[in-house]
Amino acid sequence: MKFLFLFMDGVGLGPDDPASNPLAAAHMPHLHALLGGRKLVAGAAPLETERATLLALDPNLGVAGLPQSATGQAALLTGRNIPEAVGEHYGPKPNPPVADEIRKGTLFSELGGRGYTAALLNAYPQGYFDSIQSGKRLYSAIPLAVTEAGLELKTQTDLDNGTALTADFTGEGWRQFIGPKDMPVLEGPAAGQALADLVRAYDFAFFEYWFSDYAGHRQDAPEAIRLLESFDNVLGGLLAAWEDDAGLILLTSDHGNLEDLATRRHTANPVPGLVIGAPALRGQFCANLHTLADVAPAILQFYPPREI
């Protein structure tokens, strides 16, 4: 069983209004075909198509206030109601109570303890590690979960070796802002193919796409649409290479943001739970999927402990 957790930061299910919701305005033929011609907007879920199931997941978890990144991501990773446990929605980076909840166990540590391989497929530049070591920067919830599980974050070397991808999938951002200036850049479909190839090396793979949340906070509609259309190109390559009978892809988020550019703040909208794979696998995975805290248990049911 292969599983790709495709995390898309700050994406909720908002109104089908191209004036405020880039997901209603962007040309995303691969996503729309996957959804039977529908857009990723409010009212689309629940939906069942040939290759996909779309659910609306609750990021609020019964706690007052707007959902935030640290607690939302921690809920996805732990299978526990982290906002309730710490008494609030909190973010963007984990505070000590959220970090303590992550240290109690996540998908990464649980899968390792059961005898399975897991990895975060994002490459991080050397400057990121330098900032962490100096104390100028804190881990966000996802890399904290990875490192607390005893796994290593991927580096420039992994990127050069073809065993990791940049956060924008293609490497374009690294070449422009980090370097080297002559580093190769993948076309979208090729990046999607590369992502599918990387997943095959692990039982469970996670990829974090955070540009969507940045675009939402900036309220930059043209940039948001450009990012979504670029994402869709990558998705097309991934879908072409993915074997539905071999496993599942989950695309989900921690909170809403991008779907409402009328505000810089997060939203209380439900987030998509888009599941891609064979119908039987999807049915089993989605049977008890309602909130962010239901995601980790839904994944772990496919990975019973192995005898080591």
pLDDT-based confidence at 308, cuts 50/70/90?
Answer: low
Quote the percentage of the chain above a pLDDT of 70.
100
Q: Please report which confidence band the pLDDT of residue 178 belongs to, taking 50, 70 and 90 as the band edges.
A: confident
Q: Whole-number mean pLDDT of the chain? A: 96
Say which amino acid occupies 178. I
Distance CA 115, CA 290 (A): 28
pLDDT tens-digit readout, 102-120 = 999 999 999 999 999 999 9
pLDDT digits (tens, 9 = 90+) for 60-69: 999 999 999 9
- DSSP H helical ranges for the chain: 22-25, 29-34, 69-78, 82-86, 96-103, 107-113, 126-134, 141-148, 156-161, 172-173, 188-199, 211-218, 221-241, 279-286, 295-300
Specify the CATH class of 2-66+107-274 in words: alpha beta
Give the mean pLDDT of 154-160.
95
Domain ranges of the chain: 2-66+107-274
More confident residue, 177 or 291: 291
Query: What is the per-residue pLDDT for 24?
Result: 98
pLDDT for res 181: 83
CA dihedral (133, 99, 114, 52) in degrees, to 10, reads -100
Instruction: Tell me the mean pLDDT in the region 38-50.
Output: 98
For residues 55 and 273, the answer to whether their CB atoms sit within 8 Å is yes
